[in-house]
């Protein structure tokens, strides 16, 4: 299959880390603002990239000032060209559409705004997410959807990951489909969900020495076999990468409660390998850089809309975007306004359908 390689400018920036890691492990993509260039041996920031301190300084100012409640939706809409939406907790919860979403998206499209949907959920491919949007009655093109499953495959393409190497997947079908579309060999995934280890005296677990990357995402079939297999690949295969689709603490599998997120699976592998993962999902700037390049967007003309402070809002701030927090998902108003919270969006509102009511209120 023809491999389309992403230009080096799509890569995230990096910062140094005090976490223990192998010298052969590529540095983890940082949440700092700016783009990176890949070189053999790791990721390095462009000389022209903004200082990583800019994002931190901006967050300090925002934390001191506090987020403003959205009062004039039209002013925000008119100030940007593109809206990037998180999905879980913003567009839907589980398999239930949040009230007012179709009308809100129609409003924004009628005003000529570009809409992009970015999710850290790696269980589905872009094509599968397209079907979910369709099932919920939303008309969204596949090219407008960016899942962390796609980001994992795109990252491997961007670093010229060797085609003779394999990827071990701790995750679900979405990652497998995106790797297949990118032309990479893979093993693991849901098929390893039924495998068990019988710990007998002298038992030695074999693993594939050709695995050059372990990709970890949310996995409902997570087990000890996968932990051990992924650990062996990362610790014993020279140069094997540890890639995480995200480190979300919780996710919305249903609309009834929060469930342990992909970060719990990533944490297990981190604990056994003592290596920090390369995170390709939010808040890493990899997807922001990719989107900006693909659509020719100036990040100051983007508004990032999400329900999580430490992923969605930080993702937007790291990319230099305006940010809007909605309280329809993970983050409560109490959490936002807590003295312990240092991440403050530009604006907050209850849910995205407030664009409709706030607009009506100003007429």
71 catalytic, yes or no?
A: no
Residue 361's Cβ-count burial label (10 Å; 0-12, 13-18, 19+) is: exposed
b/e 147-170 (16+ beta carbons within 10 angstroms → b): bbbbbbbbbbbbbebeeebbbbbb
Alpha-carbon gap, residue 357 to 363, rounded angstroms? 10
Task: Name the DSSP letter for residue 104.
Answer: H
The SS3 call for residue 321 is coil
Which of 84, 88, 77 shows the shortest CA–CA distance to 136? 88
Residue 18 CA, chain-centre distance (Å), reads 23
Which string of DSSP letters, residue by residue, matches 11-63?
Answer: EEPB----S---TTSPPPBPSSSSEEEEETTEEEE-TTSPPTHHHHHHHHHHH
The residues assigned a catalytic role are: 81
């Amino acid at each position: 299959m023809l491999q389309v390689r992403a230009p080096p400018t799509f890569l995230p920036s990096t910062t140094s880390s005090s976490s223990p890691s192998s010298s052969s492990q590529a540095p983890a993509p940082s949440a700092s603002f700016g783009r990176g260039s890949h070189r053999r041996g790791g990721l390095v920031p462009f000389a022209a990239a903004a200082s990583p301190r800019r994002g931190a300084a901006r967050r300090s100012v925002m934390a001191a000032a506090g987020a403003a409640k959205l009062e004039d939706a039209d002013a925000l809409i008119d100030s940007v060209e593109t809206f990037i939406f998180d999905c879980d907790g913003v567009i839907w919860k589980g398999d239930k559409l949040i009230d007012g979403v179709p009308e809100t998206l129609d409003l924004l499209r009628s005003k000529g705004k570009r809409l992009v949907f970015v999710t850290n959920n790696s269980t589905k491919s872009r094509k599968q997410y397209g079907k979910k949007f369709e099932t919920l009655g939303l008309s969204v093109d596949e090219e407008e959807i960016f899942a962390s499953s796609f980001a994992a495959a795109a990252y491997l393409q961007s670093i010229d990951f060797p085609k003779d190497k394999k990827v071990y997947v701790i995750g679900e079908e979405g990652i497998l489909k995106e790797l297949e579309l990118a032309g990479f060999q893979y093993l693991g995934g849901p098929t390893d969900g039924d495998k068990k280890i019988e710990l007998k005296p002298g038992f030695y677990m074999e693993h594939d020495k050709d695995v050059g990357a372990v990709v970890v995402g949310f996995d409902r079939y997570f087990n000890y076999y996968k932990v051990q297999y992924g650990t062996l690949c990362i610790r014993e295969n020279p140069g094997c990468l540890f890639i995480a689709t995200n480190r979300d603490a919780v996710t919305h599998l249903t609309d009834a409660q929060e469930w342990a997120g992909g970060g719990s699976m990533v944490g297990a592998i981190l604990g056994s390998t003592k290596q920090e993962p390369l995170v390709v999902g939010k808040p890493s700037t990899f997807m922001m850089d990719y989107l900006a390049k693909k659509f020719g967007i100036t990040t100051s003309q983007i508004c990032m809309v999400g329900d999580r402070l430490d992923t969605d809002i930080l993702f937007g701030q790291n990319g230099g975007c305006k940010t809007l927090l909605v309280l329809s998902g993970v983050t409560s108003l109490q959490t936002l306004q807590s003295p312990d919270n240092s991440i403050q969006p530009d604006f907050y509102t209850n849910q995205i359908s407030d664009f409709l009511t706030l607009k009506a209120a100003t007429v």
